[in-house]
Amino acid sequence: MKSNYKYLGSYIEFLNSRALNHESILDLDSIRGISSISKNFIKTKANLVGVVADKYKVVESGFFAYNPNTARMGDRIPIALNQFDYPVLVSSIYPTFKINDINKLLPEYLMMWFHRPEFDRYARFMSHGSAREVFDIDEMNGIMLPIPSITKQKEIVKEYNIIVNYIALNQQLIQKLEETAQAIYKQWFVDEGNENKKVKLNEYIRTNPPLSIKKNAIATYVEMNDLTTTSMRISGSIKREFIGGSKFQNGDTLLARITPCLENGKTAFVDILDEGEIAAGSTEFIVMRAKGDVSPYWVYCLARDDNFRSYAIGSMVGSSGRERVHEKYLDDYVLPEINSDKMNEFNFKMRPIFKSINIKSNEIIGLTELKDLLLSKLATIEN
């Protein structure tokens, strides 16, 4: 063991502060869950009807909390540092702790350690219990990690934050570009085709169907591709044989089938494959492919349109929590007749927008790899 490796328990103190005894007035709006993916505090999805905030634990700014029950948490452990300038509340079963002396250990440096996949594997391995697997206080105290000088910690955190901020900036730019594309699509193909703005487009067309529109179901413009034969799956630079799954290629749109994913806007535009390359993925999405001269960007914007998504969600069948939409239910979705010149002009306007999205997405991939490399190097940090 290297000399700068220390037991975490020497640097942290576990707490048990409750909302009832806190000097501030903390109510249900202060309650947070913890994301196992991003490892930060998020708005709780729990049903709070009849709940009283008094017994919830308080997490002050700069303090930590985590979910000790690792049995159903997947590969990542939900743990977060409160980086807000105000306290939040978490479940009473969540251990909360603070760093005793931030002149010896920075909270941000420790959170970097918790972001490492090695920590997640360690926590899962050290979890114990018969009814449920728990990573308790003793196991957290027993973590050993390199703790260099506070000057070195600040340098590492600064470098890490630069990368994280660049990733966040690119994500914001992508969101703005996506919103711009969707706004243009809505103006050109939704608002102009709907004389009664208070009625959803598809409902209006169904109740007032001009002959030119009546025949234009979605199949006129879009092929729903759900082939499940043997194909190739792309995983980084590795190609593997894959039996089952939906085949897709550049220019396709992937639409999630499952209710929560569809409601959360899970839709992807494929532009990462080599020219002529075909890949395959999960059967939990539908491949939407533009027909003829239809713009692939138009198909993507259609899949993200509120009218279309409401129609798709309304047609779902299956057991609770696993409701799925099938392409056959989308076949009845009708659209106004689209002028080919207008479609071509839309494609022309969208091309630079989607190119910029692709560039920023690739930058995020590179920055994420750099971030992961920095996290991996923490294990070898010297003073």
- What is the CATH T-level fold of the domain 183-339, as seen in this structure? Adenine-n6-DNA-methyltransferase TaqI; Chain A, domain 2 (3.90.220)
Residues 39 and 57: their CA atoms lie apart, in Å, by: 18
User: CA–CA separation, 68 vs 43, rounded Å?
Assistant: 19
Task: Supply the pTM of this predicted model.
Answer: 0.80
Non-local (6+) Cβ contacts of 206 within 8 A are 334
Q: Would you mind telling me the total number of residues written for the chain in this entry?
A: 383
**pLDDT of the residue at 101:** 97
List the chain pLDDT tens, one digit each, 383 residues: 467 799 999 999 999 999 887 777 788 889 999 998 899 999 888 788 778 888 899 999 999 999 999 876 678 899 999 999 999 999 999 999 999 999 999 999 999 999 999 999 999 999 887 667 899 999 999 999 999 999 999 999 999 999 999 999 999 999 999 999 999 999 998 886 444 333 344 554 445 444 343 346 788 888 886 544 434 443 333 344 444 567 888 899 988 877 666 666 678 888 887 777 887 777 778 888 998 899 999 999 999 998 888 888 776 655 455 677 777 778 778 887 788 899 999 999 999 999 999 999 999 999 999 999 999 999 988 77
Q: Are 269 and 354 in contact (CB under 8 A)?
A: yes
Q: What is the dihedral of CA 36, 42, 45, 50, to 10 degrees?
A: 130
């006129």: which residue's tokens?
Answer: 220
Angle between helices 150-185 and 340-376 (to 10 degrees): 170
d(CA 74, CA 129): 17
Whole-angstrom distance, CA of residue 46 vs CA of residue 171: 28
What are the start and end residues of each CATH 3.90.220.20 domain in the chain? 5-147
Number of neighbouring beta carbons within 10 Å of residue 58: 25
Domain spanning 5-147: CATH superfamily:
DNA methylase specificity domains (3.90.220.20)
Residue 104, judged by CB atoms within 10 A of its CB (0-12, 13-18, 19+), counts as middle
pLDDT tens digits for 47-90? 887 788 888 999 999 999 999 998 766 788 999 999 999 999 99
Order of all β-strands in the sheet with 267-269: 222-225, 285-290, 253-256, 267-269
176 contacts 131 by C-beta, under 8 angstroms = no
